[in-house]
Structure 1
Amino acid sequence: MASTSTTISLSSSSTLIDGKAPRPPPVSPPYSVTLPPVAPQNRQQNRETWKATAYCRKIARNVIAMATGESQIKAAAGTQVEVETEVSEIVNTVQAEGDTELPEIVKTIQAAWDKVDDKYAVTSLGVAGFLGLWVSSGMISSIDRLPLVPGVLELVGIGYTGWFAYRNLIFQPEREALIQKIKDTYNDILGSS
């Protein structure tokens, strides 16, 4: 018996793996979106950013030094810097703004808050009212997303508005009765004046 040997050489580009032909490389679809490359910052922008950062750090160090009672601050490079005038100008500006009077509405709210005996209950009612508004807003937005419901509710609103206008606003006796009813309700809530 004669033995014969055969050698098989495989090249990666033309071989069949599991009896399948090699796949071509994927082609990007025509609708693909790519982001543009980020442009590097120029040296001028980097320098300005560095200067602003260094200036803010210097002011922060000076404010801390003034708070601790030091009069002059040594900079990182070893030179002495006097920034007391800048910091004192900032402090004077803040103090001058604090001397301005509060608006009238703020004074009225403060006076009303000082008259309240049970501040805990009023605060709890305020928080509960805010949470109620938040929940009702969520419910309305979820109802608004349902199909057909917003249109039906809009038609109901238009119909009720037309009915109310016909019943209370078109004829003068009904209009006067509505105005009197509104005034009576107003006086019941706020007290007669």
Structure 2
Amino acid sequence: IQHRRAVVEATSGKSSFDPSEKIDDFTSYLEKQWEETEQKPAAVAVILAGLVALYAVNGVVGSVEKIPIFGFVFEIVGILVSGWFAFRYLVFESDRAEFKQTFDDFISKIKGN
């Protein structure tokens, strides 16, 4: 019986993904947006309302999921929607390009570009 060994060599180069750099960029982006906001109380109210709505929706979904048949139905619907999404947007290259363009347009609208 022969034993094979795999050798992994660490590189000294800098990783292309630096989480601390991404976090710094994100926090500076948030600070810039906060400074540009003229109606800060309204922004805080919208954020708090969003958190309250998220908490309420989480409670409703959690309650509905405890009903035996609905949990199973939610799982089946999730699997079907995930399968449809993968087939619709990820299988063919032209569809992937269309999805990427749609996604990039959406992100640019959010950023206000």
Q: Distance in 1 between matches of 2:28 and 2:84?
A: 44
Task: Summarize the Cα distance change of 1:184–1:136 in structure 2 as closer, same or farther, 3 Å threshold.
Answer: same
> 1: distance between equivalents of 2:93 and 2:37?
43
TM-score (norm 1): 0.41
**Equivalence for 2:84:** 163
Identity %: 29
- Whose radius of gyration is greater, 1 or 2? 1
Q: Distance between the aligned counterparts of 2:28 and 2:101, measured in 1?
A: 34
Gaps of 5+ in 2: 1-22
Q: Distance in 2 between matches of 1:135 and 1:155?
A: 24
Aligned match for 1:116, one of 37, 60, 63: 37
Q: Which runs of 5+ in 1 are unaligned?
A: 1-102
Higher helix share goes to which structure? Answer: 2
List, as ranges, runs of 4+ consecutive aligned residues in structure 1 with deviation greater than 3 Å. 103-115
Deviation at 1:111, TM superposition (A): 5.0
TM-score by length of 2: 0.66
Partner of 1:117, secondary structure, is: coil
- Counterparts of 1:189 and 1:106, CA distance in 2: 17
2:86 is the alignment partner of 1:148: no
Q: Which amino acid aligns with 2:91?
A: I
Distance 1:189 1:126, change over 3 A: closer
Map Cα deviations across residues 125-156 of structure 1 (whole Å, 9 max, x no partner).
12111110110111111011111101111001
RMSD over equivalenced CA pairs, Å: 2.4
Task: Determine which of 33, 57, 65 is the counterpart of 1:136.
Answer: 57
Q: Give the alignment of 1:61-100 within 5 angstroms.
A: none
